[in-house]
Amino acid sequence: MLGAYWFLKEPMRWERWAATLLGFAGVLVVVGPKLSWGSHSSGGYHLLMLASAPVFAASFLMTKIQSRSEDPATLLIWQNLMITLLSLPLALVVWTAPGAVHWALFLGCGILGSLGHYCQNRAISAADVSATQSPKFLELVWAAVLGWIAFGDTPSQSTLIGGALISAATLWVARRERQETHRRT
């Protein structure tokens, strides 16, 4: 949000800040109990993901800037190409030939991931970057739901409370953005 304000001169309304802070508080509630570096914990990886936020922020800002002259599909092609080129050297180090089932799963992940990136590119090109970011916190909620459905991982109390905070923030800011859009038109 700071980058969108500084580099893109997007307006920063208090609702966006409040929703982002509430959503981030929800993230901390979800990952907070898991932030130890113990042998049976993935806390270090959670901290690494939080530390990667500036890289993702730069990516969103570049997408917004490029969306002024490129359509979302073109941006998607370039994003997929860059991800492939940057991750290929790391994959080659541990590469083993995948079987047919794995290729099918890779294809499914590729299609779903590309659809998600395409929708994200459309959202970023149509709205302020700062208005599109609070729904990103919902990824934690969907990951918990998928873990429960696919692997039987029962969400912890902190996951449920944090998920409720994230969902509330997302719904609230979406409603406020809709009201703001109707007020301007």
Name the H helices within 32-156. Answer: 43-51, 53-66, 72-93, 100-126, 129-132, 138-151
Contact (Cβ atoms closer than 8 angstroms) between residue 67 and residue 132: no
pLDDT tens figures, 22-51: 888 888 887 776 655 554 556 667 677 777
pLDDT tens figures, 99-149: 999 999 999 999 999 999 999 899 989 888 877 776 777 777 788 888 899
Enter the pTM of the model.
0.70
Task: Using the structure block, give the residue that is written with the tokens 């919902």.
Answer: 138
Q: Nearest to residue 54, comparing CAs of 116, 1, 122?
A: 1
pLDDT above 90 as % of the chain: 33
| One-letter amino acid of 98 | P
Q: Nearest to residue 76, comparing CAs of 42, 114, 39, 113?
A: 114
Q: CA 129, CA 65: separation in Å to the nearest integer?
A: 10
Q: What is the pLDDT of residue 7?
A: 87
